[in-house]
Amino acid sequence: MMFVTAAAATSAAAAGSYPSLSRSRRRRLTVALRSDDVSVTPTTTILTKLKYECATPLPLLQQVANNMSADMRAGLGFGPGPGLPMIPSYVENLPTGNEKGLFYALDLGGTNFRVLRVQLGGKDDRVIATEFDQVSIPQQLMFATSHELFDFIASGLAKFASKEDDRFHISPGRKGEIGFTFSFPVKQTSIDSGILIKWTKGFAVSRTAGRDVVACLNEAMERQGIDMRVSALVNDTVATLAGAEYWDNDVVVAVILGTGSNACYVEQISAIPKLQGHVSSSGKMIISTEWGAFSNGLPLTKFDREMDAASINPGEQIFEKTISGMYLGEIVRRVLLEMAEEGGLFGKSVPQTLSTPFILGTPDLCAMQQDCSGDLHAVGSLLYDKAGVESNLSERETVLEVCETIVKRGGSLAGAGIVGILQKMEEDQRGLIFGNGNRSVVAIDGGLYENYPQYRAYLQDSVKELLGTEKSNNVVIEHTKDGSGIGAALLAASNSIYNQDL
């Protein structure tokens, strides 16, 4: 079974791995802070203002959810305004469980690429066997030509394919088929083609922008003598939905909450004006919302605006910068730096290391929030190790309050985003999500959601608060671990050129 409970402790979010949690610490989702009256200081003034500006009361969360729904509609072509990107995935046929045979997946989304194979046995046997490998991409290839990068990837795939054991076998007379997870901006034109818009994540590969990345990979495989073809081009969120839905037909939404964030859902073709005239046998298609670009009505602070201005993409991906693992630690660092400079937090001198961007990662915030000791020793040790900060108990308590404020906002807003998607689906088809006896599953993957219990709890509480008891009983939030790899292989199977033979 792919799912574990949503309360269970993958990409690690920004700057390191999340800490493992003891059983007692898993139970305790917040650190009890002293409520003693304290005198007003510059630090307390900054903290009070931060809490006020980051607050997520129910009316604000409801407005965020409503804005998300409205921006989704605009992005699909209903207007007014540009709305969210709402990228058609051209995934119209999800796995049914009937798929049989050997299928591969290739996941390229960063400085490593992953290859996976799965032997499918149909309704009775489902997944018979899986195997995967991960290959590091040499830094020089991140700045090489398209030919060189894709030849390296195809070479790694060839080595992996050559190690098939007797658990894996392709049907005679068939060409191998691959699900290609490509997590860079593309303009998708069909299930098995997409034009690269631009490289991101530190890549600057020449002679690729404007080209079909599937053609690039197919040509490289041909040069390497690999008898395979790409049957499905997807992003990691779409692959996660497919992987989760294979095990549970009630999955309608998938969310990635890791270093970055995105969400996708199953939409009716008739509700996508920008695909007017598109013929679909299923009448449905997975839409990638690209919700990281959402910004309508978010509670932002000067620290968010300053971080955004200093980023490589100012003015873009504001929702992602508010809720995802890449940025939560950096927001906290900026708050602590101002408290140190203007409020004397950590004494008279400001540790120079604290001025280093991204010196605090989101896993560090998580580690500090699991500290239940009387003197918050782990908080003090981490502040010293990471930022060169000497701290007393009162200062450590202040640090935890800052962490709590930023993490609560992030988790609550992510929950509001999920409700916005569910609302939009329900408005289009009354009873689809909240109908009597219906069960709608939101599958979530990513290291931030998996490993940060406070964040996870705030997200879940936000969804329940917004929906109310009755409606929330219809919605199940599940953690699906590493679903995107097998999901891509399953999409290769469900979109196989040999499906008529199944």
Q: Which amino acids are annotated catalytic?
A: 201, 236
Q: What is the Cα–Cα distance from 254 to 264, expressed in whole angstroms?
A: 5
Is 423 within 8 Å of 69 (Cβ atoms)? yes
CA angle (111 as vertex; 108, 117 as ends), nearest 5: 40
3-state SS assignment for residue 345: coil
Cβ atoms 221, 176 nearer than 8 A:
no
H/E segment holding residue 216? helix 213-223
3-class SS string, 247-258: HCCCEEEEEEEC
Q: Given the structure tokens 């395979």, which residue do they identify?
A: 228
Eight-class DSSP state of 203: -
Name the pairing type of β-strands 176-182 and 127-136.
unpaired
Cα four-point dihedral sign 291, 72, 93, 175: negative
Count of other CB atoms within 10 angstroms of residue 285: 21
Helices marked H in 22-57 — which ranges?
A: 23-27, 42-54
Per-residue tokens: 34: 């002293």
At 128, is the secondary structure helix, strand, or coil? strand
Q: Which amino acid is at 177?
A: E
Task: Read off the tokens for 382.
Answer: 């981490």
213, amino acid identity: V
Cross-strand pairs, 479: 4, 444
Of residues 328, 293, 256, the one with CA closest to residue 15 = 328
Cα gap 211→200, rounded to integer Å: 15
Cβ contacts of 446 within 8 Å, gap of 6 or more: 10, 11, 13, 255, 256, 257, 258, 259, 261, 325
